[in-house]
A and B are shown apart, each in its own frame.
Chain A
Amino acid sequence: MPAPIRLRELIRTIRTARTQAEEREMIQKECAAIRSSFREEDNTYRCRNVAKLLYMHMLGYPAHFGQLECLKLIASQKFTDKRIGYLGAMLLLDERQDVHLLMTNCIKNDLNHSTQYVQGLALCTLGCMGSSEMCRDLAGEVEKLLKTSNSYLRKKAALCAVHVIRKVPELMEMFLPATKNLLSEKNHGVLHTSVVLLTEMCERSPDMLAHFRKNEKLVPQLVRILKNLIMSGYSPEHDVSGISDPFLQVRILRLLRILGKSDDDSSEAMNDILAQVATNTETSKNVGNAILYETVLTIMDIKSESGLRVLAINILGRFLLNNDKNIRYVALTSLLKTVQTDHNAVQRHRSTIVDCLKDLDVSIKRRAMELSFALVNGNNIRGMMKELLYFLDSCDPEFKADCASGVFLAAEKYAPSKRWHIDTIMRVLTTAGSYVRDDSVPNLIQLITNSVEMHAYTVQRLYKALLDDISQQPLVQVASWCIGEYGDLLVSGQCEEEEPIQVTEDEVLDVLEGLLVSNLSTPVTRGYALTAIMKLSTRFSSVNRIKKVVSIYGSSIDVELQQRAVEYNALFKKYDHMRPALLERMPIMEKTATNGPTEIVQTNGETEPSVVESKHPPPVTQPTNQANDLLDLLGGNDVVPVIQTTMPTKPASAGGELLDLLGDLSLSGGPPPAPAPSVPTSQPSFLLDGLSSQPLFNDIAAAGIPPMTAYNKNGLKIDFTFERANPNPNIAVITIHASNSTEADMTDFVFQAAVPKTFQLQLLSPSSNVVPALNQGTVTQVIRVLNPQKQQLRMRIKLTYTLKGSAVQDLAEVNNFPPQSWQ
């Protein structure tokens, strides 16, 4: 067999490839040669082959078949082999336990090798990819090497120790004795890695931190080293653009930050040196700024003197004006960190920060935006908002969503007047309407409703906005809603604050009908428009025209709209006496939560509170990590985590809920402000329908799929019944019914499920977490399974409950789903 080609030749050959396919072909050919060479156990060229494999691996071709060859190379006596073998191990080896087991022994031998470079390679590999078992087995060797006088090994051993501690934190104490003399070392490499090791220990354990502060007197030692560094003259070894070992200085400053944090004595001990570093560091080069930046962060984090803090903030202010974008970026980042503690100090740089909004660089822009929002307060809100709205106008699409919600939050918190607030939100909706979050529509509607004196003004503004542009959906929705509510104010033209506009009823209806037919309108917007028209039937005199429009949509192809229209039609025909009362103006809404999605509880006197208030299920204690536990159920990575949504259970629908239905702000699948704010829009058919659609659709869809028993053990029986979600046949809706035939209640009942990766699973909240005894009732819970590939359904379930005071946990696999449920 001829000798395999050299790595360099392979590279050269691959570089001649003109197309991807040609390259692939070359690689495949070479891989075949390498495989056969491996099969022949060719020892001479193994290193060459592995080196070639590493090159292919870099290009993204599979190279796992070289894993064992790496191990063979490591076991070889030759340094060349070991060197490439260890490199291959670091690059190619995956997390398989058996491979690691094989390696442990080799590494152990090499850690005790007579050549320091072999020992170094072993340390490096262990420190890069050692598994927790490996770390446990080899920690003793690492600790021994940490105490040697050989600085080449010592520095590597220190970093290896960091890796060991990360993998197996309980081994930390083992390295404690060896840390004693680390800082008296002269070699900078060892000093650097020792500081890294000490940092890791202090960060991980408060006990260690206290020990190093009190017993080891770490702070004075570090201060001494730092002093030597800044005082010492030029040393060619460690000099980087005129500064002595900036990397070590940065590391020490970081460790000082951890040691000084909320500790008066330590902070006191480092005040002087920090001031010295802050004033003496040469800042014409990046390295100097790196140190200065680190110093500033340390000063801000520890309990430093006030004078020092002023100095630090001023350094950041100087950074903000720096020409180098990187420096500006880190200045913004650190100001953002300090804005909570030193709000006023940061406030002084406001104008500079606002200027950064105009920077061309997106990273800087983003930081400046975040910082600007953090700086907004009651005093500067008008000015800041002007800048931010201007930014919103001109910024890239990727910023608009964040910026818009930032403006909403700030406006809500600090609005100087209601009018200003409404103006601001409307401005956002007109400029960045399609980027705002879904909940901003109900939020604005609520805001408008609650500012009674502004109704006429608002509806006029919105009507004008609607005449200009009907493409911004959220704006159109709010406008439709307001016109529906306050149409009478609009046509009467009573507005004190602005030049009243003269519109007729017909013009208003024209606009709304225009929305119904416009291509730009989403189904949700159409729903808003139709409802608005309906409401106007009690506010306008042209009832006949409205009747006509409503009846036309009785045959709309959009089911949602159709249903709405049919209901309104019924209202005209059968319940006309109730209509004025039903379509009365909305009462003022109470606000229950600020910031984020707002939950609005409606206090409509005509509806029963129990129906309106969404009933939350009993608190199911479900920490997120439990979902991770469940991942283990299906054995590792072919499982998607269970998404446990806490959805308020929808109150049972009953016919008499017509009132409630009409009271709803949004009558379609859009963001419903009431009664169930957290129900996602993807589930429209469940919620909007107080009347009849749910039972109806259950009847149809459930037909044909037989129920099944998924679990029956120890008195707990779980039955599954199936439905197909209506619009999307890929979603199977499974309702579980848990019943309990024992004589005691099962409490804390939690049902969890996991499905293979090709499925997606959504678990809604259970009806209760107590399964009553003697089959006196069932707990139901809805699972929605998305099965786009129509594969056979498989599920692992995990059940936990408490029966007579003892916790029970069981796992089961469900494979016998009826084919109709997934086909």
Chain B
Amino acid sequence: MIKAILIFNNHGKPRLIRFYQYFAEDMQQQIIRETFHLVSKRDDNVCNFLEGGSLIGGSDYKLIYRHYATLYFVFCVDSSESELGILDLIQVCCYFFKMLCRKKQMVFVETLDKCFENVCELDLIFHMDRVHYILQEVVMGGMVLETNMNEIVAQVEVQNRMEKSEGGLSAAPARAVSAVKNMNLPEIPRNINIGDINIKVPSLSPF
């Protein structure tokens, strides 16, 4: 069983955390810190398996991770999972995250891709909800649910469309009214400032 999926960057800043076994909030953060500590001191040319996390599960427990540009994708699993299988799964997940974010905002990512290596990290940060929804279609309750890429993409797309039809201004008059009422809102910045390069953000999710 997959006990947890943790994604954090090279500085240990969490980018996605998903626990499939209950841990209190502070314990979760402790696990993230410990995992980061264990994983970050390893070279890139060593194997992707690591034993010795003390906080979840004990000896039956393994960290399987991939280091991907600025991100660590770590799956905490017990012995009922195939080590090599999970490695493939991480790759599949990475692929999904990238693809789905790209499909929506081709321009955004295309530009970024030219400037930065860390395209994937920004995707995760600004699409936190969406990344969770994708993950939800891949892994459920700590078990692999579906690995067929087309199927997953299709299902998530339909759900995103459903959300959009509810969330847009035209479909929700109540929101439109309140939006007009609050005209004195501070101007929503249209630029993300990263270093000294500005990137246009073309579309915004309902949140």
> Among residues 113 to 159 in chain B, which have CB atoms less than 8 Å away from a CB atom of chain A?
125-126, 128-129, 132-133, 136, 140-148, 150-151, 155, 158-159
Can you name the residue of chain B whose Cβ is closest to the Cβ of A325?
A: B47
Residue with the highest number of chain B CB atoms closer than 10 Å, among A58, A60, A294, A366: A58
Can you name the residue of chain A whose Cβ is closest to the Cβ of B175?
A: A44
A51 near B175: Cβ-Cβ < 8 Å: no
Task: Give complex CA distance A109, B89 in Å.
Answer: 33
A193 near B145: Cβ-Cβ < 8 Å: yes
Any A CB within 8 A of the CB of B197: no
B140 near A159: Cβ-Cβ < 8 Å: yes
Can you name the residue of chain A whose Cβ is closest to the Cβ of B204?
A: A8
Task: Map CB proximity to A onto B165-197 as digits: 1 under 8 Å, 0 otherwise.
Answer: 011000010110011001011001100110000
Q: Number of B interface residues, CB 8 Å? A: 73
Task: Give complex CA distance A192, B80 in Å.
Answer: 15
A162 near B143: Cβ-Cβ < 8 Å: yes
A7 near B158: Cβ-Cβ < 8 Å: no
Task: Give complex CA distance A449, B95 in Å.
Answer: 66
Any A CB within 8 A of the CB of B54: no
Any A CB within 8 A of the CB of B16: yes
Any B CB within 8 A of the CB of A667: no
Any A CB within 8 A of the CB of B14: yes
What is the distance, in angstroms, from A333's C-beta to the closest C-beta of chain B? 8
Residues of chain A within 8 A (CB-CB) of B46 are 325, 360-364
B141 near A128: Cβ-Cβ < 8 Å: yes
What is the distance, in angstroms, from A90's C-beta to the closest C-beta of chain B? 8
Task: Give complex CA distance A51, B204 in Å.
Answer: 14
Residues of chain B within 8 A (CB-CB) of A95 are 22
Residues of chain B within 8 A (CB-CB) of A59 are 13-14
Can you name the residue of chain B whose Cβ is closest to the Cβ of A127?
A: B141
Any A CB within 8 A of the CB of B18: yes
A16 near B193: Cβ-Cβ < 8 Å: yes
B188 near A6: Cβ-Cβ < 8 Å: yes
Residue with the highest number of chain B CB atoms closer than 10 Å, among A2, A55, A64: A2
What is the distance, in angstroms, from A508's C-beta to the closest C-beta of chain B? 45
Task: Give complex CA distance A344, B198 in Å.
Answer: 65
Residues of chain B within 8 A (CB-CB) of A515 are none
Can you name the residue of chain B whose Cβ is closest to the Cβ of A57?
A: B25
Can you name the residue of chain A whose Cβ is closest to the Cβ of B63?
A: A363
Any A CB within 8 A of the CB of B205: yes
Interface SS of chain A: helix
B89 near A12: Cβ-Cβ < 8 Å: no
Any A CB within 8 A of the CB of B94: no
Any B CB within 8 A of the CB of A209: no
> Among residues 286 to 306 in chain A, which have CB atoms less than 8 Å away from a CB atom of chain B?
286-287, 289-290, 293-294
B207 near A47: Cβ-Cβ < 8 Å: yes
What is the distance, in angstroms, from B95's C-beta to the closest C-beta of chain A? 10
Residues of chain B within 8 A (CB-CB) of A175 are none
- Return the contact of B83 from the options A80, A152, A326, A364 (Cβ within 8 A): A326
Task: Map CB proximity to B onto A47-90 as digits: 1 under 8 Å, 0 otherwise.
Answer: 11001101101111011100000000000001110011001000
Contacts A127-B140, A290-B82, A363-B50; A8 near B88 (Cβ below 8 A): no
Any A CB within 8 A of the CB of B85: yes
B179 near A3: Cβ-Cβ < 8 Å: yes
Any B CB within 8 A of the CB of A155: yes
Residues of chain B within 8 A (CB-CB) of A79 are 159, 162-163, 166
Task: Give complex CA distance A62, B82 in Å.
Answer: 34
Residues of chain A within 8 A (CB-CB) of B29 are 60
A54 near B128: Cβ-Cβ < 8 Å: yes
Residues of chain B within 8 A (CB-CB) of A364 are 46-47
Task: Give complex CA distance A188, B20 in Å.
Answer: 23
Can you name the residue of chain B whose Cβ is closest to the Cβ of A1?
A: B182
Task: Give complex CA distance A58, B132 in Å.
Answer: 12
What is the distance, in angstroms, from A239's C-beta to the closest C-beta of chain B? 9
Task: Map CB proximity to B onto A138-165 as digits: 1 under 8 Å, 0 otherwise.
Answer: 0000000000000010011001101100
Can you name the residue of chain A whose Cβ is closest to the Cβ of B24?
A: A94
Any A CB within 8 A of the CB of B202: no
Residues of chain A within 8 A (CB-CB) of B178 are 3, 44
What is the distance, in angstroms, from B140's C-beta to the closest C-beta of chain A? 5
Can you name the residue of chain B whose Cβ is closest to the Cβ of A360?
A: B46
Contacts A16-B193, A44-B175, A44-B178; A62 near B49 (Cβ below 8 A): no
- Return the contact of A247 from the options B18, B51, B88, B140 (Cβ within 8 A): B88
B141 near A192: Cβ-Cβ < 8 Å: no
Any A CB within 8 A of the CB of B17: yes
Contacts A83-B163, A117-B162, A124-B140; A360 near B129 (Cβ below 8 A): no
Any B CB within 8 A of the CB of A329: yes
Any B CB within 8 A of the CB of A498: no
Residues of chain B within 8 A (CB-CB) of A327 are 84
Task: Give complex CA distance A247, B86 in Å.
Answer: 9
Task: Give complex CA distance A155, B92 in Å.
Answer: 19
What is the distance, in angstroms, from A320's C-beta to the closest C-beta of chain B? 13
Any A CB within 8 A of the CB of B100: no
Residues of chain B within 8 A (CB-CB) of A362 are 42, 46
B206 near A80: Cβ-Cβ < 8 Å: yes
Any B CB within 8 A of the CB of A196: yes
Residues of chain A within 8 A (CB-CB) of B142 are 128
Contacts A79-B166, A192-B146, A196-B143; A286 near B82 (Cβ below 8 A): no
Can you name the residue of chain B whose Cβ is closest to the Cβ of A10?
A: B207
A363 near B151: Cβ-Cβ < 8 Å: no
B162 near A330: Cβ-Cβ < 8 Å: no
> Among residues 7 to 23 in chain B, which have CB atoms less than 8 Å away from a CB atom of chain A?
13-18, 20, 22
What is the distance, in angstroms, from A200's C-beta to the closest C-beta of chain B? 9
- Return the contact of B146 from the options A51, A78, A189 (Cβ within 8 A): A189
B166 near A58: Cβ-Cβ < 8 Å: no
Can you name the residue of chain A whose Cβ is closest to the Cβ of B51?
A: A363
B144 near A326: Cβ-Cβ < 8 Å: no
B25 near A64: Cβ-Cβ < 8 Å: yes
Residues of chain A within 8 A (CB-CB) of B126 are 8, 11
Any A CB within 8 A of the CB of B93: no
Task: Give complex CA distance A791, B13 in Å.
Answer: 38
Any B CB within 8 A of the CB of A227: no
Residues of chain A within 8 A (CB-CB) of B207 are 6-8, 47-48, 51-52, 84
Contacts A3-B182, A117-B162, A240-B92; A162 near B150 (Cβ below 8 A): no
Residues of chain B within 8 A (CB-CB) of A152 are 155
B22 near A156: Cβ-Cβ < 8 Å: no
Residues of chain A within 8 A (CB-CB) of B133 are 83, 87
Any B CB within 8 A of the CB of A238: yes
A7 near B143: Cβ-Cβ < 8 Å: no
Residues of chain A within 8 A (CB-CB) of B22 are 94-95, 129
- Return the contact of B14 from the options A52, A60, A189 (Cβ within 8 A): A60
Residues of chain A within 8 A (CB-CB) of B112 are none
Any A CB within 8 A of the CB of B48: yes
Can you name the residue of chain A whose Cβ is closest to the Cβ of B19?
A: A91
Task: Map CB proximity to A onto B48-89 as digits: 1 under 8 Å, 0 otherwise.
Answer: 111100000000000000000000000000001011110111
15 contacts between A and B (CB under 8 A): A7-B207, A8-B204, A11-B125, A54-B132, A60-B14, A79-B159, A87-B132, A91-B132, A117-B159, A192-B147, A237-B151, A240-B92, A290-B87, A362-B46, A363-B51
A residues with CB within 8 A of B: 2-3, 6-9, 11-12, 15-16, 44, 47-48, 51-52, 54-55, 57-60, 62-64, 78-80, 83-84, 87, 91, 94-95, 117, 123-124, 127-129, 152, 155-156, 159-160, 162-163, 188-189, 192-193, 196, 236-238, 240, 245-248, 250, 254, 286-287, 289-290, 293-294, 325-330, 333, 360-364, 366
11 further interface pairs, Cβ-Cβ under 8 Å (given A91-B132, A250-B82): A12-B189, A54-B128, A80-B206, A87-B129, A94-B22, A189-B146, A193-B143, A247-B89, A289-B84, A326-B87, A360-B46
B residues with CB within 8 A of A: 13-18, 20, 22, 24-25, 28-29, 32, 42-43, 45-51, 80, 82-85, 87-89, 92, 125-126, 128-129, 132-133, 136, 140-148, 150-151, 155, 158-159, 162-163, 166-167, 172, 174-175, 178-179, 182, 184-185, 188-189, 192-193, 201, 204-207
Closest 5 CB pairs of A and B: A290-B84, A325-B47, A361-B46, A7-B207, A127-B141
